[in-house]
Chains A and B, each alone.
Chain A
Amino acid sequence: MCETQGEGHQHRHLEVHRHAMEANDQVAARLRRGFAARGILVLNLISAPGSGKTALLERTLEQLRPLRVSVLVGDVETERDAERLRRCGVPVAQIVTAGTCHLEAGMVESHLAEVDQRELDVLIVENVGNLVCPSGFDLGEDLKVVLVSTTEGEDKPLKYPAIFHRAELALVTKADLAPHLDFDREELLRNIQAVHPGMEVLEVSAKTGLGLDLWLDWIRAKVEEKQSLHV
């Protein structure tokens, strides 16, 4: 720490090296320990608005039984998504961010009491529709899943690389629409691999059920993996 003398005051150099995410990361670490202690698999679903997160979840929740699933759903305004998902008969908590473009670990923590963690195998967090801001905020999840729909264009991974880099799995949604669009499937897959070599990709349609079995099996395998660590 160097100090220079001035007139009646001194200038000092301070080494700080503190990360802007540290407050969020501390809460996320606490959440992660809690989930691990209970053997709960936590998935953080991230996509642009309108890519079909909620529709996919409706189908997912119906078919994941007997696994016990709960959902935390983030939106800038309204309870609409929570109302849709509650009809699937699982506990759902809505996080209204009132303007914030992403979920933060503290928001997850403060809504956790609304789901019964003692009776839970999987917690799905549906993030605010946004491909940029949510990617850097750790919510204590095991895995991030990024959704990209066939209607969004093949270059999404190149335009929003951070989330494709960080996510474990990419779900290509609305796969049933592909034949009706100028959608270049190979190009999308190439772009995903360019950003995240080796990334797992599943193509699904909530409308026709195409590929859903693979997605459900993927979740079941991750649950089994998580619960095998929890003895």
Chain B
Amino acid sequence: MHEMALAEELLKISDEAAASAGAEEVLRVRVGVGWLLQVERQSLAFYLEALRRDYPRLEHAVFELDEEAVRVRCRVCGEETEQAGWGFACGACGDRDVEVVAGDRLEVRDMEVRTDDV
């Protein structure tokens, strides 16, 4: 259910980025959905659709929701490895002393916009 709050933030960020670039219309927004956040992509897509009425620039935008896997950096051997499930451990040396370096964010990565000629 927190997908509603997250969708609202994604729309705000996309709209701000478009506005500050002087864009008239947003065509495409690429969103990275970190696995660690346990965001239900279908639900997020539903709320993006429902809430974007408040953002005229985003009316026809296509939202691409790309799942991002969790990656950890090992504090012992320094290797960075992708994780397939919970109970994170270094994929190289197996140590549990790891730090999450990817997959913990829900972010607007990049977007395609249309600007009118000046």
Q: Does A196 contact B (CB under 8 A)?
A: yes
Asked whether B112 lies within 8 Å of A195 as measured between CB atoms, the reply is no
| In contact, B23 and A12 (Cβ under 8 angstroms) | yes
Instruction: Establish whether residues A14 and B21, one from each chain, have CB atoms under 8 Å apart when the complex forms.
Output: yes
List chain B residues, Cβ under 8 A from A14.
17-18, 21, 23, 110-113
Residues of B within 8 A of A231 (CB): none
Q: Chain B contacts of A21 at CB under 8 A?
A: 6, 9, 105-106
- Given A20-B13, A136-B37: A12 in contact with B107 (beta carbons within 8 A): no
Tell yes or no: A118 within 8 A of B by CB: no
Please tell me if the beta carbons of B117 and A10 are within 8 angstroms of each other in the complex: yes
Q: Are A132 and B38 in contact (CB under 8 A)?
A: yes
Given the known A-B contacts A16-B109, A18-B107, are A11 and B13 also in contact in the complex, defined by CB atoms under 8 Å?
no
Q: Tell me whether A104 and B18 are in contact (CB under 8 A).
A: no
In the complex, which of the residues B13, B24, B36, B89 contacts A16, with contact meaning CB atoms closer than 8 Å?
A: B13
Interface secondary structure of B, over-half rule? mixed
- Shortest CB–CB separation between residue A20 and chain B, in angstroms? 4
A13 and B36 in contact (CB under 8 A), knowing A197-B87, A197-B96? no
In the complex, chain B residues whose CB is within 8 Å of the CB of A162 = 36-38
Which residues from 59 to 118 on chain B have a C-beta closer than 8 Å to any C-beta of chain A?
86-89, 96, 105-117
Q: Is A102 an interface residue (CB 8 A)?
A: yes
- Cβ-based interface call for A161 (8 A): yes
Cβ B112 vs Cβ A20 within 8 A: no
A17 CB–B CB distance under 8 Å: yes
Give every chain A residue within 8 A of B116 (Cβ-Cβ). Answer: 8-9
Interface string of A9-46 (1 = CB under 8 A from B): 11111111111111110000000000000000000000
Q: Known contacts being A104-B5, A162-B37, A162-B38, is A20 close to B117, with CB within 8 Å? A: no
Given A132-B2, A195-B86: A10 and B106 within 8 A (CB)? no
B-chain residues with CB within 8 Å of residue A130 when the two chains form the complex = 1
Residue of A15, A17, A100, A195 ringed by the most chain B CB atoms within 10 A? A17
Residue A133, interface by CB 8 Å: yes
- In Å, the complex CA distance between A101 and B24 comes to 35
Does A6 interact with chain B (Cβ within 8 Å)? Answer: yes
Q: Are A197 and B111 in contact (CB under 8 A)?
A: no
Are the C-beta atoms of B112 and A18 separated by less than 8 Å?
no
Task: Give complex CA distance A20, B104 in Å.
Answer: 11
> A9 vs B38: C-alpha distance in the bound complex, in angstroms?
39
Known: A16-B13, A16-B109. A10 touches B114 (CB 8 A): yes
Q: Which residues of A come within 8 Å of B, CB atoms?
A: 6, 8-24, 100-102, 104, 130, 132-133, 135-137, 158, 161-162, 164-165, 193-198
Q: Can you add 13 more A-B contacts, CB < 8 Å, to A16-B17, A100-B5, A137-B2?
A: A9-B117, A10-B114, A11-B113, A12-B112, A13-B111, A16-B13, A16-B108, A16-B109, A17-B110, A101-B1, A132-B38, A165-B36, A196-B87
Give me the 6 closest cross-chain CB pairs, A-B, nearest first.
A133-B2, A20-B9, A20-B106, A101-B1, A195-B86, A161-B86
